[in-house]
Each structure stands twice: as structure tokens, then as C-alpha cells.
Amino acid sequence: MKQKLIIILSLLLSITFISCDDSTTDPLPTSGTIYIESEPPGAEIWLDGDNTGVVTPGRVEAEAGPHIVTLKKEGYGDLSLNVSVTAGEEFILTSGTTLSQLGTLIIQSQPSGATIWIDGENTGQVTPNNFSKEDGNYTVVLQLTDYADTTFVTQVANGGTTTENVELRPTFLQKFKVKIWESFGTTAAQPSGVDLSSGNAYGTSSADNDKVDIYYFSNSDGTSFLVQSAHLNANMNRETFFNVTNNANLNDGLNSPEKTSSWGNSVDEGEDNYMFLYDADGHYSKLQIVNRGGLGTTDDPAWVEVEWFYNPKQNDINF
């Protein structure tokens, strides 16, 4: 009887141990891994905005679910990829991971000092300046006080250099147009001289002739007609210098060269190209003869119509 009891107890203990072993299981995994290669290698692996401290090719652990992997390498644009990690499994990223080499965008302006906006964001930088940019198109806006905002689209190629050199257009320029008559044999109602700063026409013998910068000269026999500096007339003393260009488009946005000793004091009235002027007060103008008429006789004196931009900023060559 005692021996039977021992056998029964042994069986019961065996059943208990077997039951305990069957109820023990490993916990289910909650994370997986991501294996990443890149071209070129050596890119930092960032996971959801945090630097993992691992570089490509490399492996990082991540909780199951969606994540953003970003690859960063100096001299290359950031590359961000969406991944979805399955618990206990590995997500492999070996394609579509080629990094784009940064190019250089050089932005210059005349005058310099313009604030640079790129794709609607103020860079906080002014011209001239360089930017490292990924391959693509960019909209650039340049802003400078007293100048019109200038907008243009530029393209940066993968690893290349793009240079933009922009002429800014002043908003402070004044534009005038006036008709003047030859200086010989005309009446007070037919003024020959021009004040470049105001756009007013005055007679060379009038009370306001001290304001005249240039005038339409003609000799007594009507064989010579010039637009010339006021100081060449005995009644006036303001000297203006002329530099005739090879361009006929007054609105081309080109700036004046600096005045030099090569600039003259007159131009033939038949000149069609515009000219830059430098007056007695140190102001530049950009002037063109746009119309002509009259026979050059007592009854029908010759006349010209001149149009010009006047820069009120002293010694400023910008137009």
C-alpha cells in the first residue's frame, strides 16, 4: 500500500511539472531592424529626426510601425525615405539611396547689398553670396532700397556651379521729355536750353538761363546744329559732359560708365543712339534725341525733342 502511494505521488508531481513547462512562452518581439546602404557610403543615418550614430552601410533597430529614415552626408543633399518596420523582421534599403551632390549657386548684383530670397524664404544674406543647393530649379528675389524687386528663376545642376549677375533697376530715377528749338532766330516761346534736373526748358537769354545744362545750338547761317554744354554759350556757365553710346534703346537698363577726361561737350543733332551726361552738380543723365523737325529758317526754326532719365543721387551711375 505504501509503495502504491509513492507511485501515485510521483505521477502527480510529473503532471505538475509538465503543466508548468507547457505554460512558459517567449515574449513576442515589438521591434525590427532597418539595413541601409547608400551611394556614396558613409552617410549618417537619422531615424525620425534623431541621429542614430550609425553610418551607411549600417543597421539600426526601430519599433514596429512607420518611420522616416534620413541620410546626411557633407557635400550632398539630405535624402529622406519612408519605411514600415515589421516586428521581428528586417527592412532592407539598398536601392533609391543615391545621394545628390550639392551644387553652388552664386548670386551677384549691381549695386551689391541686395537681400536674397530663395523659394519664398529670406536667406538673411545679401549680394554677393554663394549657396550650396541640390539639383533643381530655384526662384530668387533680390530686394534693395530704392531699387525695384528683381525676380528670376535659376537652375543648379548636380555638383555644378551656377552664377547669376543681376542689374537692379533704380526706382528713384526721374524721366523727362521736352522739345527745344535752335538757339538762333527763335522767340521766348521757343526755348533752346534744358535743366536736366527738373525737365524744364529755358531760353538761353532768359532770366533762368543759369539753370540750363544743355542747349540746342545753331549758328547764324543754319549749317551747324548741335546739342551741347551750356558753358559753350556766352550767356551761361554750367558745364555738361557727353558720352555717346552704340545703343539706341534708352530703356535697356544699362548703367553709365564713370565720367572720364575722354567725355566731350557736344553731340551732333543727327545722333540716334543715346548718350550719358554728367552735369555741373555731379549727376548722371541718360539722354536720347527722339524727334526732329523744322527747316532751320526764320519762319520754321529747327527743333529736337529729347528724352532722358535723371539720377538725383550724386555720382550714382545706375540706370
What is the rounded distance in angstroms from the CA atom of residue 147 to the CA atom of residue 130? 22
Question: What pTM value is reported for the model?
Answer: 0.63
- Asked if residues 273 and 209 have their Cβ atoms less than 8 Å apart, the reply is no
- Predicted confidence at residue 249, as pLDDT, reads 97
Sheet containing 161-167: give its strands across: 129-133, 103-110, 161-167
By mean pLDDT, which of 15-24, 124-133, 209-218, 266-275 is the weakest?
15-24
Say what the pLDDT of residue 222 is.
Answer: 80
User: In this predicted structure, which of 20-24, 53-57, 111-115, 185-189 has the lowest mean pLDDT?
Assistant: 20-24
DSSP state of 294: -
Residue corresponding to grid cell 534744358: 194
Judge contact between 244 and 271, C-beta under 8 A. Answer: yes
Is the predicted pLDDT of residue 15 greater than 70, yes or no?
A: no
| Neighbouring C-beta atoms of residue 121, cutoff 10 Å | 8
Degrees, nearest 5: CA angle 67-73-79: 40
For residues 83-97, average pLDDT: 94
Q: How far is CA 151 from the centre of its chain?
A: 6
All structural domains of the chain: 31-93 (2.60.40.1120), 103-167 (2.60.40.1120), 174-310 (no CATH)
- Looking at per-residue pLDDT, the higher value among 11 and 255 belongs to 255
d(CA 263, CA 285): 14
- Which of the residue ranges 91-100, 117-126, 306-315 would you say has the lowest mean pLDDT? 91-100
Range in 6-10, 20-24, 63-67, 102-106 the model is least confident about: 6-10
Instruction: Give the mean model confidence (pLDDT) for residues 212-216.
Output: 98
What integer pLDDT is reported at residue 25 of this predicted model?
A: 67
- Tell me: the pLDDT tens digits for 118-172? 999 999 999 999 999 999 999 999 999 999 999 999 999 988 999 999 999 899 9
Residue 17 has pLDDT above 50, yes or no: no
What mean pLDDT comes out for the span 34-58?
96
Cα 292 from Cα 227, distance rounded (Å): 12
d(CA 45, CA 147): 45
Are 242 and 263 in contact, with CB atoms under 8 Å apart? yes
Is the peptide bond prior to 40 cis by the omega test (within 30 degrees of 0)? Answer: yes
